[in-house]
C-alpha cells in the first residue's frame, strides 16, 4: 500500500515513479535538468534537418548576380549603340573617363582581336562549367565570384551571337576608356569585362585563402591555421 501511494503521488521512489515525475514536469512546463535533456534533439536526423538551412547551395545567389550583370551589360550597350556614333567620344570627370563606341572581335579588353569564334566557344565552355559547379556551391564568396564571371561571359557572348557580322563572329561593344579616348592608355572595355575581371580577382583571393566551393577550408590552410 505504501508503494502504490508513492507512485500515485508522483514520488521519485523507484524507476516507475521517476518516469511519472518527468512526464508531469514536461506537461506543466517546469524547468529543470530533465526538461533540458528532453528538449535536445538527440536523433542525428533531427540535428541534420535543423542545420540544413545554413548549408543550402548558393545557386540562386550565383544566378541572381549573373542576371544582374547581364542586364546592366545589355542595357549599357544598347544605350551606347543608340546614342554614340563609332569614333565619337564623350569626356567625363575631366578626361579621366571617356565614353566611346568600339567593336571588339577579341577577348576582354580587346585582347587577341580576330579570334572571335575561339573566344565564343571558350565563353560557352566557361558558362557550362560554372552552371555545373553551382550544384555543389555552398560558399557565398565563390557564388559572387562565379556569378560575376558567368554574367560577364554571357554578356559578351550575346554580342558575338547576335551582332554583325554573324553567328559567333559578332563584334563586342566596348565603350569605356580611361585617360584617353582611343584606348592607348588602357584598353577600351565594357561592363561585362569589368564583371569578369572583378570575379576573377575575387576567385584568386578565395583560392589563396584555401576556401573551397563547399565553403570549407582546404586541408593545407586548416593545418597552417
Q: Which residues are catalytic?
A: 174, 193
Cα separation of 70 and 121, whole Å? 18
Cα 122 from chain centre: 21
The answer to whether 173 and 80 have CB atoms below 8 angstroms apart is yes
Cα 35 from chain centre: 42
What's the CA dihedral at 6, 11, 12, 17 to 10 degrees? 70
Q: What are the C-alpha distances in Å from 211 to residues 35, 39, 142, 169?
A: 40, 35, 8, 37
Amino acid at each position: 500500500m505504501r508503494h502504490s501511494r508513492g507512485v500515485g503521488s508522483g514520488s521519485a521512489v523507484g524507476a516507475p515513479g521517476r518516469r511519472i515525475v518527468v512526464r508531469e514536469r514536461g506537461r506543466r512546463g517546469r524547468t529543470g535538468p530533465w526538461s533540458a535533456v528532453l528538449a535536445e534533439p538527440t536523433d542525428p536526423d533531427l540535428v541534420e534537418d535543423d542545420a540544413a538551412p545554413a548549408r543550402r547551395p548558393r545557386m540562386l545567389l550565383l544566378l541572381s548576380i549573373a542576371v544582374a550583370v547581364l542586364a546592366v551589360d545589355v542595357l549599357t550597350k544598347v544605350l551606347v549603340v543608340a546614342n554614340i556614333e563609332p569614333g565619337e567620344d564623350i569626356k567625363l570627370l575631366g578626361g579621366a573617363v571617356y565614353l566611346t563606341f568600339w567593336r571588339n572581335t577579341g577577348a576582354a579588353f580587346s585582347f587577341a582581336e580576330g579570334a572571335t569564334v575561339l573566344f565564343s566557344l571558350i565563353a560557352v565552355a566557361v558558362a557550362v562549367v560554372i552552371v555545373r559547379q553551382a550544384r555543389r556551391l555552398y560558399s557565398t564568396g565563390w557564388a559572387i565570384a562565379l556569378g560575376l564571371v558567368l554574367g560577364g561571359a554571357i554578356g559578351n557572348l550575346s554580342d558575338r551571337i547576335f551582332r554583325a557580322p554573324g553567328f559567333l563572329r559578332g563584334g563586342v561593344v566596348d565603350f569605356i576608356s580611361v585617360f584617353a579616348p582611343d584606348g592607348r592608355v588602357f584598353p577600351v572595355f565594357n561592363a561585362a569585362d569589368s564583371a569578369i575581371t572583378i570575379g576573377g580577382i575575387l576567385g584568386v583571393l578565395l583560392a589563396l585563402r584555401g576556401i573551397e566551393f563547399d565553403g570549407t577550408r582546404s586541408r593545407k590552410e586548416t593545418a597552417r591555421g
